[in-house]
Amino acid sequence: MFITDNRVMVENTQNTLTLVCAQKSAQKMVATEDDLIQANINSFGSDVGKVTNHVTSMYDVQAKFTPGTTEYDTLAYRIQAGQMAQQNI
């Protein structure tokens, strides 16, 4: 969540329901800078990038449709499913 008065951001943000993904196996910890660096290193070559690229391209395709149409709503659902897949990976 963030607050901005940037016109481009305000006019192009979609208000959606919050997507909550429960962690299945993550160890509870307070992350250090070294932990964040290692997480970035571990992400190279993982499936997260592949899923992220697919979800990002769906936003581009969705922009071609009118909100409320079957195509637009189907892509909205797929984007949410993709976000859940990112969390699970």
Say if 62 falls within a structural domain. yes
> Exposed (0-12), middle (13-18) or buried (19+): which is 56, by Cβ within 10 Å?
exposed
Say if 69 falls within a structural domain. yes
pLDDT at 75: 96
pLDDT at 63: 93
pLDDT at 83: 87
Q: Provide the residue-wise pLDDT of the chain in tens; the chain has 89 residues.
A: 678 999 998 888 877 777 676 766 777 889 999 999 998 888 777 788 888 889 999 999 999 999 999 999 999 999 999 988 888 87
Say if 31 falls within a structural domain. yes
Residue 83: left if φ>0, alpha if ψ -120 to 50, beta else—which one? Answer: alpha
For residue 77, the enclosing domain spans 21-88
Total count of domains within the chain: 1
Rg, C-alpha atoms of the chain: 16
pTM of this prediction exceeds 0.85 = no
- State how far the Cα of 2 lies from the Cα of 57, in Å rounded to an integer: 24
